[in-house]
Structure 1
Amino acid sequence: MPKVTLHHTFHVRNTPGALQAHLSQPQSYVGLSPLVVAVRDVSTVDGETRYVSVERLRLLGLVRYESLVKVTLRSTPETVEGEATAPGGVRLGYRFTLRERDGGTEVEDRLVVQSWNRTLLGRAARRAREAQLARAGVLAARLG
């Protein structure tokens, strides 16, 4: 399956623990990605949190569509990671690595986007990159 790996490292003026706590809560992802408008069906089993992320998309620039994405979330004191599966066969693996640095936290944001179709992969990777870059500003505003 074709894939694209995206990396972005940024700094937030807060502790790794504060970032880990925030990123470990499904509700925190509303607005953290510009497409995510809600989360639902949250459950935790054996240290994994599973939920459905509701993403609002526009098809062909006209029709508004809500995509339901199944998400699995895991965390340790130094990382928050998981997988997401969207309709159409797009998969996303993500990992936030949190390191104390310069009076705050260095966040390494790594995304692996996969799809069976290269055209769909390109679109999904572009959207994921836009969300990844926006996430740095959102986290800094929320926790900085």
Structure 2
Amino acid sequence: MEFAHSFTVAAPVDRLYAHLIDPRSYIGLSPLVVAVREIRPVGAAIAYVAVERFDFGPFHWNNPIRVTMTGAPDTHTIVSDVRSPGFVTLTSRVTLTPAVEGTSVVETIAVTAPLGLRRFVRTQAASVQQHRAAELTRRMQTR
């Protein structure tokens, strides 16, 4: 499954890139991410563990996901490869391009999941993508 979302943020490309290449920025930027730990360089990439929290009524489940993020500052592109328990994988490619209004952001997400999880994973990933666009826009307006 692959899907994309485009939006514009009223901030310069370099500012958005600096924010998105920092794993700590994803706490709250992705609504499920409540913690980021074990940040370390791996060659030209950054590896870390993000903790997603899923709430089911009064119960919650913390899902540690392994992320490897590779940035290309010359093209303002960031690729995140995510490995989650349950044989779920996700690759996010964010491309930032200067625009008259600030920066054009295009995020393409490709996910794979076992048959029984596909609908849930697709719905969650699309919801997170929309939230991330709104939160990134909000963050850049308040700085």
Q: TM-score range by the shorter chain?
A: over 0.9
Within the alignment, does 1:100 sit opposite 2:98 as a pair?
yes
Distance, in Å, in 2 between the alignment partners of 1:35 and 1:87 is 15
Distance of 1:66 and 1:103 partners within structure 2: 38
Identity among equivalent pairs (%): 35
Corresponding residue SS for 2:28: coil
Which structure has the higher relative contact order (CA within 8 Å, separation 6+)?
1
Which of structure 1's runs of 4+ aligned residues deviate more than 2 A? none
The TM-score with structure 2 as length reference comes to 0.93
1:125 Cα deviation from its structure 2 partner: 0.8
Report the TM-score, using the length of structure 1 for normalisation: 0.92
For 1:80-119, what per-residue CA distance to the aligned partner results, in whole angstroms no more than 9, with x for missing partners?
A: 112001111110000100000113000001111101x223
Distance in 2, matches of 1:119 and 1:110, equals 23
Give the paired residue count.
139
Q: Where does the alignment leave 5 or more consecutive residues of structure 2 unmatched?
A: none
Structure 1: runs of 5 or more not aligned = none
| In 2: Cα distance, 1:103 partner to 1:12 partner | 7
Deviation at 1:15, TM superposition (A): 0.9
User: Residue 61 of structure 2 aligns with which residue?
Assistant: 65
1:24 to 13, 16, 21: 21
Equivalent in the alignment of 2:115: 118
Deviation string, structure 1 residues 34-79 (Cα, Å, up to 9, x no partner)? 10001000001211100000000134x4421100000000111220
Query: Which amino acid in structure 2 is aligned with residue 55 of structure 1?
Result: E
